[in-house]
Structure 1
Amino acid sequence: MAEVKLSLQEEGPSSFDIFDENGKAGEMVFDIQGNDLTVYHTEVEPDREGKGYAKLLLDAMVAYVRENQLKVIPLCPYVHLQFRRHEELYKDIWNKINE
Protein backbone atom coordinates (compact mmCIF):
# COMPACT_ATOMS: atom_id res chain seq x y z
CA MET A 1 0.00 0.00 0.00
CA ALA A 2 1.30 3.44 -0.93
CA GLU A 3 2.03 6.11 1.65
CA VAL A 4 2.40 9.86 1.09
CA LYS A 5 4.92 11.76 3.19
CA LEU A 6 5.35 15.53 3.44
CA SER A 7 8.86 16.93 3.08
CA LEU A 8 8.89 20.64 4.03
CA GLN A 9 12.06 22.56 3.22
CA GLU A 10 13.03 26.02 4.48
CA GLU A 11 15.30 26.57 1.49
CA GLY A 12 14.22 25.37 -1.92
CA PRO A 13 11.07 23.52 -2.95
CA SER A 14 9.13 21.17 -0.70
CA SER A 15 7.36 18.01 -1.79
CA PHE A 16 4.77 15.38 -1.12
CA ASP A 17 6.53 12.08 -1.77
CA ILE A 18 4.77 8.78 -2.34
CA PHE A 19 6.34 5.47 -1.35
CA ASP A 20 5.27 1.90 -2.01
CA GLU A 21 6.86 -1.46 -1.26
CA ASN A 22 9.56 -0.72 -3.86
CA GLY A 23 10.59 2.70 -2.50
CA LYS A 24 9.86 6.20 -3.73
CA ALA A 25 7.27 6.07 -6.50
CA GLY A 26 6.66 9.75 -7.19
CA GLU A 27 6.48 13.30 -5.96
CA MET A 28 4.58 16.57 -6.10
CA VAL A 29 6.91 19.57 -5.87
CA PHE A 30 5.62 22.83 -4.39
CA ASP A 31 6.56 26.03 -2.60
CA ILE A 32 4.68 28.12 -0.05
CA GLN A 33 4.79 31.90 -0.14
CA GLY A 34 2.44 33.72 2.22
CA ASN A 35 -0.96 32.04 1.96
CA ASP A 36 -0.28 30.49 -1.47
CA LEU A 37 0.98 26.99 -2.16
CA THR A 38 2.30 26.85 -5.72
CA VAL A 39 2.46 23.38 -7.25
CA TYR A 40 5.17 23.13 -9.88
CA HIS A 41 5.41 19.49 -10.84
CA THR A 42 3.85 16.08 -10.25
CA GLU A 43 5.61 12.94 -11.39
CA VAL A 44 5.14 9.22 -10.88
CA GLU A 45 7.79 6.69 -11.88
CA PRO A 46 6.89 5.21 -15.28
CA ASP A 47 6.76 1.64 -13.97
CA ARG A 48 4.23 2.71 -11.29
CA GLU A 49 1.84 4.69 -13.50
CA GLY A 50 -1.81 3.69 -13.55
CA LYS A 51 -1.98 2.92 -9.82
CA GLY A 52 -3.63 6.19 -8.78
CA TYR A 53 -0.47 7.57 -7.18
CA ALA A 54 -0.82 11.04 -8.73
CA LYS A 55 -4.35 11.25 -7.29
CA LEU A 56 -3.05 10.23 -3.86
CA LEU A 57 -0.49 13.04 -4.07
CA LEU A 58 -3.21 15.48 -5.13
CA ASP A 59 -5.46 14.41 -2.26
CA ALA A 60 -2.64 14.82 0.27
CA MET A 61 -1.83 18.30 -1.04
CA VAL A 62 -5.50 19.36 -0.96
CA ALA A 63 -5.91 18.09 2.62
CA TYR A 64 -2.77 19.98 3.69
CA VAL A 65 -3.95 23.19 1.99
CA ARG A 66 -7.38 23.04 3.62
CA GLU A 67 -5.93 22.20 7.03
CA ASN A 68 -3.55 25.16 6.82
CA GLN A 69 -6.04 27.57 5.18
CA LEU A 70 -3.91 28.10 2.08
CA LYS A 71 -4.77 28.71 -1.57
CA VAL A 72 -3.32 26.75 -4.51
CA ILE A 73 -1.65 28.17 -7.60
CA PRO A 74 -1.64 25.11 -9.91
CA LEU A 75 1.30 25.66 -12.28
CA CYS A 76 1.69 21.88 -12.58
CA PRO A 77 -0.22 20.69 -15.69
CA TYR A 78 -1.69 17.67 -13.87
CA VAL A 79 -2.99 19.69 -10.92
CA HIS A 80 -4.29 22.45 -13.18
CA LEU A 81 -6.15 19.91 -15.31
CA GLN A 82 -7.74 18.29 -12.24
CA PHE A 83 -8.78 21.68 -10.85
CA ARG A 84 -10.37 22.61 -14.21
CA ARG A 85 -12.12 19.23 -14.60
CA HIS A 86 -13.46 19.21 -11.05
CA GLU A 87 -13.73 22.91 -10.27
CA GLU A 88 -16.57 22.37 -7.79
CA LEU A 89 -14.27 20.20 -5.64
CA TYR A 90 -11.44 22.72 -5.52
CA LYS A 91 -13.04 26.16 -5.89
CA ASP A 92 -12.53 26.91 -2.18
CA ILE A 93 -8.74 26.53 -2.46
CA TRP A 94 -8.00 27.59 -6.06
CA ASN A 95 -6.20 30.92 -6.34
CA LYS A 96 -7.31 32.07 -9.79
CA ILE A 97 -5.64 35.48 -9.61
CA ASN A 98 -3.03 34.35 -12.13
CA GLU A 99 -5.52 32.64 -14.48
Structure 2
Amino acid sequence: METIQLELNEKKHGAFNLYVGDKKLGEMTVSLKEDVLTVYHTGVEPEAEGKGYAKKLLEEMVAYVRANHLKVLPLCPYVHAQFKKHPDEYEDIWVKS
Protein backbone atom coordinates (compact mmCIF):
# COMPACT_ATOMS: atom_id res chain seq x y z
CA MET A 1 0.00 0.00 0.00
CA GLU A 2 1.25 3.45 -0.85
CA THR A 3 1.34 6.54 1.34
CA ILE A 4 1.69 10.14 0.24
CA GLN A 5 3.28 12.79 2.43
CA LEU A 6 3.70 16.49 1.85
CA GLU A 7 7.23 17.39 2.89
CA LEU A 8 8.18 21.08 2.81
CA ASN A 9 11.34 22.85 3.96
CA GLU A 10 11.42 26.14 5.89
CA LYS A 11 11.03 28.10 2.62
CA LYS A 12 7.91 26.06 1.82
CA HIS A 13 9.55 24.26 -1.10
CA GLY A 14 9.26 20.50 -1.33
CA ALA A 15 7.06 17.76 -2.67
CA PHE A 16 4.19 15.40 -2.23
CA ASN A 17 6.20 12.19 -1.94
CA LEU A 18 4.71 8.77 -2.66
CA TYR A 19 6.14 5.83 -0.73
CA VAL A 20 5.52 2.12 -1.03
CA GLY A 21 6.84 0.70 2.19
CA ASP A 22 9.93 2.79 2.90
CA LYS A 23 10.84 3.31 -0.77
CA LYS A 24 10.03 6.61 -2.50
CA LEU A 25 8.55 5.82 -5.91
CA GLY A 26 7.02 9.15 -6.94
CA GLU A 27 6.99 12.85 -6.26
CA MET A 28 5.18 16.03 -7.17
CA THR A 29 7.52 19.00 -6.68
CA VAL A 30 5.79 22.10 -5.30
CA SER A 31 6.25 25.42 -3.57
CA LEU A 32 3.80 27.35 -1.45
CA LYS A 33 3.61 31.13 -1.40
CA GLU A 34 0.73 32.89 0.31
CA ASP A 35 -2.38 31.13 -1.03
CA VAL A 36 -0.89 29.63 -4.22
CA LEU A 37 0.64 26.18 -4.55
CA THR A 38 2.90 26.05 -7.62
CA VAL A 39 3.42 22.58 -9.08
CA TYR A 40 6.67 22.20 -11.04
CA HIS A 41 7.09 18.52 -11.80
CA THR A 42 5.48 15.13 -11.32
CA GLY A 43 7.64 12.04 -11.62
CA VAL A 44 7.37 8.33 -10.94
CA GLU A 45 10.29 5.88 -10.83
CA PRO A 46 10.49 3.70 -13.97
CA GLU A 47 9.68 0.50 -12.08
CA ALA A 48 6.49 2.09 -10.71
CA GLU A 49 5.11 3.48 -13.98
CA GLY A 50 1.66 2.41 -15.12
CA LYS A 51 0.29 1.95 -11.61
CA GLY A 52 -1.67 5.21 -11.42
CA TYR A 53 0.76 6.85 -9.00
CA ALA A 54 0.86 10.20 -10.85
CA LYS A 55 -2.95 10.35 -10.64
CA LYS A 56 -2.81 9.54 -6.91
CA LEU A 57 -0.30 12.36 -6.39
CA LEU A 58 -2.61 14.70 -8.31
CA GLU A 59 -5.62 13.66 -6.21
CA GLU A 60 -3.69 14.14 -2.96
CA MET A 61 -2.45 17.58 -4.04
CA VAL A 62 -5.96 18.68 -5.06
CA ALA A 63 -7.44 17.46 -1.76
CA TYR A 64 -4.75 19.37 0.16
CA VAL A 65 -5.32 22.55 -1.84
CA ARG A 66 -9.08 22.46 -1.34
CA ALA A 67 -8.79 21.65 2.38
CA ASN A 68 -6.46 24.63 2.85
CA HIS A 69 -8.37 27.06 0.57
CA LEU A 70 -5.46 27.45 -1.85
CA LYS A 71 -5.13 27.85 -5.61
CA VAL A 72 -2.84 25.92 -7.99
CA LEU A 73 -0.43 27.28 -10.58
CA PRO A 74 0.18 24.16 -12.73
CA LEU A 75 3.61 24.63 -14.32
CA CYS A 76 4.07 20.84 -14.41
CA PRO A 77 3.14 19.52 -17.87
CA TYR A 78 1.24 16.55 -16.40
CA VAL A 79 -0.83 18.63 -13.98
CA HIS A 80 -1.48 21.30 -16.61
CA ALA A 81 -2.64 18.64 -19.07
CA GLN A 82 -5.03 17.17 -16.49
CA PHE A 83 -6.43 20.62 -15.68
CA LYS A 84 -6.96 21.32 -19.41
CA LYS A 85 -8.51 17.90 -20.00
CA HIS A 86 -10.95 18.26 -17.06
CA PRO A 87 -11.46 22.04 -16.64
CA ASP A 88 -14.76 21.76 -14.76
CA GLU A 89 -13.18 19.49 -12.16
CA TYR A 90 -10.38 21.97 -11.36
CA GLU A 91 -11.95 25.37 -12.16
CA ASP A 92 -12.22 26.30 -8.47
CA ILE A 93 -8.47 25.94 -7.81
CA TRP A 94 -6.82 26.68 -11.18
CA VAL A 95 -4.71 29.84 -11.51
CA LYS A 96 -4.55 30.40 -15.26
CA SER A 97 -1.40 32.32 -16.09
TM-score by length of 2: 0.95
In the alignment, does 2:71 pair up with 1:62?
no
What is the distance in 2 between the residues matched to 1:30 and 1:19? 17
Give the Å deviation of 1:21: 3.5
Q: CA deviation at 1:12?
A: 6.0
8 Å contact kept, 2:16–2:27:
yes
Amino acid at match of 2:60: A
Q: Distance in 2 between matches of 1:51 and 1:22?
A: 17
Is the Cα contact below 8 Å between 2:12 and 2:32 reproduced in 1? no
The count of residues paired between Structure 1 and Structure 2 equals 97
User: Kindly tell me: are residues 2 and 66 of structure 1, through their superposed partners in 2, closer, same or farther at Cα, counting changes over 3 Å?
Assistant: same
Contact map agreement 2:12 2:33 (CA 8 A) in 1: no
For 1:45 and 1:17, locate their aligned partners in 2 and report how far apart those are by CA, in whole Å.
12
Q: 1:7-86 to 2 correspondence within 5 Å?
A: 7-11=7-11, 13-21=13-21, 23-86=23-86
Give the 3-state SS of the residue equivalent to 1:79 in structure 2: helix
Q: Counterparts of 2:64 and 2:84 in 1: how far apart (Å)?
A: 20
Deviation at 1:34, TM superposition (A): 1.2
Structure 2 unaligned residues grouped into runs of 5+: none
| Counterparts of 2:83 and 2:64, CA distance in 1 | 16
Q: Aligned residues: percent identity?
A: 54
List, as ranges, runs of 4+ consecutive aligned residues in structure 1 with deviation greater than 3 Å: none
Letter in 2 for 1:27: E
More deviation, 84-93/14-23: 14-23
